[in-house]
Structure 1
Amino acid sequence: MTDRATELREAGRDIISLSVGEPDFPTPAHVIDAAKAALDAGDTRYTPVTGTARLKRAAALHFQRDLGITADPASIIVTAGGKQAIFEAFAATVSPGDEVIVPSPWWVSYPQMVRFAGGSVVPLITHAHHGFRFDPADLEALITPSTQWLLLNSPGNPTGAVYPRKLLEGIGDVLRRHPQVLVLADDIYSPLIYSDEPHSSFAAVCPDLADRVLTVSGVSKSHAMTGFRIGVATGPAWLIEAMGRLQSNASGNPTSISQAAAAAAFEGPQDFLVQWRERFRIRRDLVVTAINAIPGLSTPQPDGAFYCFIDATPLMDRFGDDNALALHLLEHGVAVVAASAFGGKDGFRISFAADEAVLAEALRRIAEALS
């Protein structure tokens, strides 16, 4: 949808894209300055494959300060974005016949990574009326001797769902009865929570299970650094080593300049996030109110990230499926992503990482397109 929107723009059409998952705020100045300083210092050579010592120390600071996880720099790997860390974890551990439980709706790349490694995706279906959360008993019902991983994404893409501490404790109770199951916690959106309850990371809530947990984070969403392509992950030593071996042969080290910038991001001031969260909260409320006022559309209020997952079931008799609906909205000047891309159905995802005036115009176009 993003590519098609770009094509239409280049053809002269006025297209508002709400399909891309990246902050629209500028990268903080101290991060840009760090990247420039690295260039001026000639920091343009290979680094250790799994990341510089400075960035690993900075990542350890981030894991402790922001996620409540005590991480030795030696148990941290730096990757070219969080996506690479998740891919490497599955590629290093999943074999044909292995199962990976993934709550659905899910981020589009999760099932593709599992299948690439030869594994099978086991959907853990969630629903809007439950805030896209699940009951631990529903998880346990899906676990078999072949279950290799449980994947948790909180706050989540595409739903904005946040898993509260009580839910994570219940998941821990289940997993203690199934010692073969590893947990991949994708916490990349952890700084973007709008409820009064702070972010809870699974490894911090259940420290006795930490040797079975890989926690993935980064700077893309928290510091508007999507193009820098830096992710960080921490977990058991055997897994980090295996991921490092794979990375050594697949890509080598992440970009040296980006690593210097990411270290500055973790080490530097974090107070700008207060303002960013408030802006995102205002945008979220704008979108939720407007969508729920459009006949045929509805969405719960997301507690985190910057997405609304919108149900359009009443419109399916008119459009047939959500891809047709998404294309219809694109023809009316708004790019969204069909719910079916995320393992859902009969709806679409909106990113509200856009200026309030832009969002208001996009929502006006959506209402007009469906009137």
Structure 2
Amino acid sequence: MFNIQQPFKRITAIGAVSSLLLTLSAPLAFADQAVAPVTTQAEVSIQAGAVQLTSKTISDKNDYYESELTIPVISGMQDKNYQNTLNANLAARAHAELEKLKKQAKDDAAASVGVYEFRPYMFKVSYERITDGSTGAGGVLSFKMITSAYTGGAHGWTRIDTYNVRNEAKASAVKLKELFGEGYKTILNKVVNAEIAAHSDIYFPDTFKSIADNQPFYIKNGKAFLVFQQYEIAPYAAGIREIDAVIPGSKPAAAVPGNLSSLSLKIGGKTISGAHLFVGKNGIAMAPLRAISAQLGYALSWNAGWIDVDKGNQNVSLQVGKDNYATATAQVTLGAVPIMKDNTLYVPLSFFSKVLKVTVAYSKDAVVIG
């Protein structure tokens, strides 16, 4: 297991370049002999009746490169022909990119002899399921394919490709035009420009012109999340940007209850004593980070002004007073900054659903998480 894409959490305006050089340009230790590819499989627990994704991982390494392909194998779609074609395309694309990198790595190694130090390449493909195609998800299967590589230089790169499919007898790809109408570009361009104006310190000035004809996006909770790749509208340190737009006619998100501060907090069916929520600026629900994260199995640590939230391979970082929540592949804005109140660190309640990807809901007398 390895991690090509270093989190953006500790990159500052002054130290960005040096940090990347230190964390990403160091050569890896490889075995002297090539190692045969290793394949492992793990099932993902998904709601009954939903489309299922099985994780298939193929690992390989030698003196020139190290690779790890975690390719989803989709099952349970109504349209089996579409399902089989999609599975074949996902695998073919990942393997084609890997073969191209293998050749490039070998050629680079040969050219480096007596000229410069060759650093082994790295290539990784993984995925993230967003919605499962069930009735509760509006019949839409939505997921990301995340491709990362290091081919020498100061740092690697990451790209996110998205897939949105209607799980019907005759499946089809979901298009932004279908969701937002004929004027979808005008509508979404306004949303993007508003986000850039609200966070001008993050984005390149005067760079964004329009969303692309094939704009990557995914669907979740009645919103379309537009995905912008590294350097597309913001510097490398800002990460892959995701900007959300409410889909017309979709069910609005549950309003923050007026009695939020009096509601109990339940996580995994357990009531958490001493943890309180409140309504912050702009009517955004704020929740105690440590109390909730600990119950969800995350560890919190403070590091040079950053707060790290870690669990296994999932790593998120944030700063007090900054509306930027950094994962390994993206930075998310939530409309509110982390704040200290009564010696407790609070974050927007949406941090847990949008960043940590856990379920958050309101009941009559409680906020229910997980």
Q: Tell me if both proteins adopt one fold, taking TM over 0.5 as the criterion.
A: no
TM-score under structure 2 normalisation?
0.25
The structure with the greater share of residues assigned to strand is 2
Quick one: higher RCO (CA 8 Å, sep 6+), 1 or 2? 1
Bigger CA radius of gyration: 2
The structure with the greater share of residues assigned to helix is 1
